């Protein structure tokens, strides 16, 4: 597992999935997403993986990320939160992301889902 | 005598256990049915699904007219399929097969409904104008609600609602 953190996020890169936690009150913009994209490209190269977005903290996600910032080998996105508010936000994000998309209340469920693709 | 068939497939990012638990519980039908239909389970949904189970509903599908539906669960195979058949209601025939199977990332949910509408030739005339669009709307709504509840899986297979 490879761990990376900077001023706006923390990410753990496993073989089949990455767990991303964005810090509180961050606006997750296209520019910030491209920093992560480089990390993901370097780690996974052309290998498929699932992104798990662990929404521990409230933050904004720019819709532009879904239009321009998603890697082809990112096969699915899991949103993890036990908050109804985060879930409502995720419902709005789902149509923007054209691939597999799931909601979970625990990280363990999301990890099991990610593993089921491989 | 015209028998119509409706086929749908949807892919859900949940375990087969979770899919079965949700889909085989008649109480969840209200959640995935359009609100304007005022769907209500009147009786029969107080136990886990079993063959021979009679479930009574009230639905208001068209023009505010309340309809009583009685269906029987005729076949159940745990985590694989179940079949409901209308015993009393607006259709001359309603035979609904619900299949689920595991796929990478979740489950494939397949529905096959064979149905017939009453009133002979008149029924066949109103089918494309009223019945077919309404059924399409109901299944589109269900698809949207299930995505909201569980998410979705990208597949190469068709997600369309097909009438044969």
From A7-11, A16-20, A29-33, B112-116, the region with the lowest mean pLDDT:
A29-33
Rounded CA separation A63/B66 (Å):
43
Minimal Cα–Cα distance from B104 to chain A, Å? 5
Rounded CA separation A8/A24 (Å):
8
Average the pLDDT over B91-115 and give the result: 95
Chain B interface with A: residues with Cβ < 8 Å: 13-15, 104-106, 147-148, 150-154
Q: Which two tokens stand for residue B60?
A: 């208001």
Pair B40, B22: CB distance under 8 Å:
no
Who has greater pLDDT, A27 or B62?
A27
Per-residue pLDDT reduced to its tens digit, B107-156? 999 999 999 999 888 888 888 888 899 899 999 999 999 998 999 998 76
- Predicted pLDDT at B66: 86
What residue spans define the domains of chain B? Answer: 4-163
Q: Which of B163, B160, B90 is nearest to B123 (CA)?
A: B90
- Predicted pLDDT at B158: 61
Characterise B48 by phi-psi region: left (phi > 0), alpha (psi -120 to 50), beta (else): beta
Residues of chain B neighbouring A117 (CB-CB closer than 8 A): 104-105
Taking the domain B4-163, which CATH number applies? 3.30.530.20
- Predicted pLDDT at A112: 93
- Predicted pLDDT at A52: 97
CA distances to A33, A114, B7, B28, B105 from B152, rounded to whole Å, are: 23, 13, 18, 18, 9
The whole-chain average pLDDT of chain A stands at 91
Rounded CA separation B95/B87 (Å):
10
- Predicted pLDDT at A54: 96
The partner residue sitting opposite B152, judged by closest CB among A101, A112, A117, is: A101
Contact B147 A94 (CB under 8 A): yes
Per-residue pLDDT reduced to its tens digit, A64-82? 888 776 888 999 999 999 9
The whole-chain average pLDDT of chain B stands at 90
Contact A76 B154 (CB under 8 A): yes
Rounded CA separation A15/A64 (Å):
27
How would DSSP label each residue in A68-114?
Answer: HS--TTEEEEEEE-S-HHHHHHHHHHGGGS-SEEEEESSHHHHHHHH
Residue B100: pLDDT band (50, 70, 90) is: very high
Residues of chain A neighbouring B150 (CB-CB closer than 8 A): 102-103
- Cα dihedral sign for B60, B61, B65, B71? negative
The fourth-level CATH superfamily of domain A2-115 is STAS domain (3.30.750.24)
Q: Which of A61, A16, A13 is nearest to A40 (CA)?
A: A13
Residue B47: pLDDT band (50, 70, 90) is: confident
Determine what percent of chain B is predicted with pLDDT higher than 90.
Answer: 60
Measured between its terminal Cα atoms, the distance across chain B in Å is: 15
Q: By CA distance, what is B18's nearest residue in A?
A: A109
Determine what percent of chain A is predicted with pLDDT higher than 90.
Answer: 61
Asked if residue B63 has pLDDT above 80, the reply is no
Rounded CA separation B42/B93 (Å):
21
For the question of an ipTM over 0.95, the answer is no
Asked if residue B50 has pLDDT above 80, the reply is yes
Residues of chain A neighbouring B151 (CB-CB closer than 8 A): 94, 100-103
Q: By CA distance, what is A114's nearest residue in B?
A: B105
- Predicted pLDDT at B81: 97
What residue spans define the domains of chain A? Answer: 2-115
């Amino acid at each position: 597992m490879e761990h990376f953190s900077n001023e706006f996020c923390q990410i753990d890169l496993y073989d089949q999935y990455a767990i991303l936690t964005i810090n509180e009150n961050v606006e997750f913009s296209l520019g910030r997403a491209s920093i992560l994209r480089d990390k993901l490209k370097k780690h996974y190269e052309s290998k498929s993986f699932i992104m798990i977005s662990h929404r521990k903290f409230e933050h904004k996600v720019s819709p532009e990320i879904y239009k321009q910032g998603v890697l082809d080998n990112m096969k699915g996105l899991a949103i993890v939160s036990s908050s109804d508010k985060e879930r409502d936000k995720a419902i709005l994000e789902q149509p923007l992301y054209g691939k597999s998309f799931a909601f979970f209340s625990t990280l363990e469920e999301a990890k099991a889902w990610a593993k089921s693709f491989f | 005598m015209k028998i119509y068939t409706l086929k749908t497939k949807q892919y859900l990012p949940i375990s087969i256990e979770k899919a079965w638990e949700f889909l085989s519980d008649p109480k969840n039908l209200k959640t995935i049915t359009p609100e304007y239909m005022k769907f209500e389970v009147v009786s029969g949904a107080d136990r886990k699904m079993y063959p021979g189970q009679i479930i009574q509903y009230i639905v208001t599908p068209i023009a505010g007219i309340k309809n009583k539906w009685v269906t029987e669960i005729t076949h159940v195979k745990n985590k694989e399929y179940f079949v409901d058949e209308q015993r009393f209601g607006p259709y001359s025939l309603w035979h609904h097969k619900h299949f689920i199977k595991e796929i990478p990332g979740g489950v494939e949910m397949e529905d096959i409904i064979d149905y017939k509408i009453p009133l002979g030739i008149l029924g066949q005339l109103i089918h494309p104008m009223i019945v077919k669009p309404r059924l399409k709307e109901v299944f589109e709504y269900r698809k949207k609600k299930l995505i909201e509840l569980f998410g979705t899986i990208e597949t190469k297979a068709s997600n369309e609602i097909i009438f044969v």
